[in-house]
Amino acid sequence: MGIARNLFDEMPERNYFSWNTMIEGYMNSGDKGTSLRFFDMMPERDGYSWNVVVSGFAKAGELSVARRLFNAMPEKDVVTMNSLLHGYILNGYAEEALRLFKELKLSADAITLTTVLKACAELEALKCGKQIHAQILIGGVECDSKMNSSLVNVYAKCGDLRMASYMLEQIGEPDDHSLSTLISGYANCGRVNESRRLFDRKSNRCVILWNSMISGYIANNMKFEALVLFNEMRNETREDSRTLAAVINSCIGLGFLETGKQMHCHACKFGLVDDIVVASTLLDMYSKCGSPMEACKLFSEVESYDTILLNSMIKVYFSCGRIDDAKRLFERIENKSLISWNSMTNGFSQNGCPVETLEYFSQMHKLDLPTDEVSLSSVISACASISSLELGEQVFARATIVGLDSDQIVSSSLIDLYCKCGSVEHGRRVFDTMVKSDEVPWNSMISGYATNGHGFEAIDLFNKMSVAGIRPTQITFMVVLTACNYCGLVEEGRQLFETMKLDHGFVPDKEHFSCMVDLLARAGYVEEAIDLVEEMPFDADASMWSSVLRGCVANGYKAMGKKVAEKIIELEPDNSVAYVQLSAIFATSGDWESSALVRKLMRENNVTKNPGSSWADC
C-alpha cells in the first residue's frame, strides 16, 4: 500500500475511483483504521464508498462500527444493507439481522431474501420464513438454486419436512448443502431411515453429506452406527475436523477409549489436532474415559487456545482433582463466559468443595450473570453436601423465577437435596411430579433411597425404571448396588450384578466390584468376596482389601484376616488400619508376642494410628 499511497498523494486531482481504491485497499489489507480515516477525508462519498467501509467492518465482526456507519448513510441502498445483514448472520446475530430487515423496509433483491432466509433458519423462525417465501412468490422473484437451498434449509431446520422435501424437488440437481440440511432435518425428528434413504441416493458424496449422516446417527443415540459409517466414509473421501469431532463424541458415549486414540492419531496425521473443536473433544474424551493424564499431555502440546478449549481443560483438571490448576486456568480466561463459570461451580461441587461452589455462584450473582440449569444444579448439589435444606430451597426458588423449576437436571438436584437432608418423602414427591426422559432423575431417587437405608424401595424403583422404558446405565447399577450394600441385601446384590453383565452387556468397573466385595464381606461371605477380588480383570487396591479385612475381623476369620492384612501392608506400608487390625487378630488369638511385634514394626516405620473422634469433639 506504500507505493499506492505515494501515487495517490502525488495526484493533482482525485476522483471517486481513486478515493475508493485507497479505502478498499486499506480495508482488504486489514488496516481498517487507515481505511476509515481516508473515508472521513473523502470530500464526497458515493454508494460504493459507504459499502466498502460498512462491508469491511461487518466482515471483521466490528458490527457496532458497521451499524454506526450504515445509520449515517444519507441514502441507504440495498447493496450496503445486504453487507450488514450478511455481517450480522456471519457473526451469530441472526435476530439483529431480522430486526434490521423489518425496520428498513427497503426494496429487497434476491440476495437480501436469501440472506434473511438464513437468519430465519438460524432462529428456527418458521412463521417469518413462510412470510419471506410468500414475498418471493408474490413479488415474482426468480428462485435460483441458492434461494431454493435457503428455503429447504428454513423448512428442514423448523421441522416442516414436507415443505422441505417439496422445495428440494424444485431443484433439478440438489446441491450438497440442501441435501445435507434435509438429511439433518429428518434425523432431528427421529426419522433416521429417511435420512439414510436421502443419503444413499447421492453418489460421490462430499464430506458435508457424510458429516450430516454421522451426526444424525449420533443425535439419535446410534453411536455404533456412526462409527460403522465413518469406516465406510474413509473408502470414499477424507474426513475433516467436524467428522473427527463427531466420531470422537461417539467414542465417548460408547466408552471406546482405544478407538478414540486412533481418532487422535488421524487428527495428528491430517494436521487437525490443533483445530479447537477437535482438541476440545479429545480433551473431553480422555477425561470421561478415565485418562486425564493423556488430556493434560495433549493440552501441553496444543499451540493455540480459545475459551472453549480452556473451559474443556478446566473440566479435565477438576476430573483428576487438580483444583488449583483449574483455578489458575480460569483466571487466564479474559472474557469468561457462562460456560466458564459453570465449569468452576460444577467442578467444585463434584470435588466436594461446597463452600467454593457457593462463593463462585455468589460472584456470578454480583456480576449480574445469567444462571442456567448447570449453575443452579451445581449450587443445589453443594447445599445438599452441607445438608443445608433452607439454602437449597432458596436456590430452587430462583430456578422457579427464571423458569427452570421443571428442568430435569435442576429437579434431580432437588431430589438429591431432600434425600441428603433426610426428607426422602419430599424427594419422592418431586420425582413423581417431574418429567423423566432419561436415567438422571431415576439415579437420583434410587441413590436417595440408598443413602437413607431404604434398600427394597431402591430395588423396586430400579425395576419400575425398566418398565418405564428407561435403560439403566453403569451409574444406575452403582447406586442400586450401593443400596443393597447399605442394607445387607446379598442375594439381591448378586442378581443385580449378574443382570448388569448378562442382560445389559455392561462390563463392571472397579467401583462395581468394590461395592460387591464390600457387600459380601460385610455379610460374612468372605471367601466369595476374595474369589471376586481374584477374578477381577484389574488389580485390587488397598481399599478393596480393607473391605475384606473388615469382613474377616467382624466374622472371626482370623487366619484369612492375617493374610489380608499382610497384603494391605504390602500394598500400602503406611496403612495404619491394617497394622492395628493385624495386631488385634494376633492378640485375640493369644499370640501376644506377634501382636507386640506388629506394634513395634509400626513404630519403626513411623506409622501412626489415626486418632478417633466424635461429633462431641467438634
34-58 per-position pLDDT tens digit: 878 888 887 788 888 888 888 888 8
Lowest mean pLDDT segment, chosen from 158-162, 547-551, 614-618: 614-618
Please tell me the pTM assigned to this model. 0.64
Distances (CA, A) of 74 to 69, 93, 429: 10, 25, 64
**What pLDDT, in 10s, does the model give residues 129-141?**
898 888 888 888 7
According to the model, what pLDDT value does residue 4 have? 67
Model confidence band, residue 1 (pLDDT cutoffs 50, 70, 90): low
Angle between helices 241-254 and 207-219 (to 10 degrees): 20
Average pLDDT, whole number, for the chain? 86
**What pLDDT, in 10s, does the model give residues 187-217?**
888 889 988 988 998 888 999 999 999 999 9
Residues 6+ apart with CB under 8 A from 304: 274, 276
Instruction: Check: CB of residue 508 under 8 Å from CB of residue 497.
Output: yes
According to the model, what pLDDT value does residue 54 have? 87
According to the model, what pLDDT value does residue 589 have? 64
The closest of 95, 93, 140, 89 to 115, measured between CA atoms, is 89
**What pLDDT, in 10s, does the model give residues 270-296?**
888 888 889 989 998 998 888 888 988
- In terms of Cβ atoms closer than 10 Å to its own Cβ (0-12, 13-18, 19+), residue 238 is exposed
Model confidence band, residue 10 (pLDDT cutoffs 50, 70, 90): low
Q: How far apart are CA 385 and CA 378, in angstroms?
A: 11
Instruction: Please give the residue that has the higher pLDDT: either 488 or 557.
Output: 488
How confident is the model over 90-102, as a mean pLDDT? 86
Distances (CA, A) of 345 to 92, 181, 366, 406, 420: 27, 37, 15, 21, 19
CA angle, 441 then 447 then 451, to 5°: 150
Model confidence band, residue 181 (pLDDT cutoffs 50, 70, 90): confident
Domains of the chain: 336-435 (1.25.40.10), 541-618 (1.25.40.10)
Position 617 pLDDT exceeds 60: no
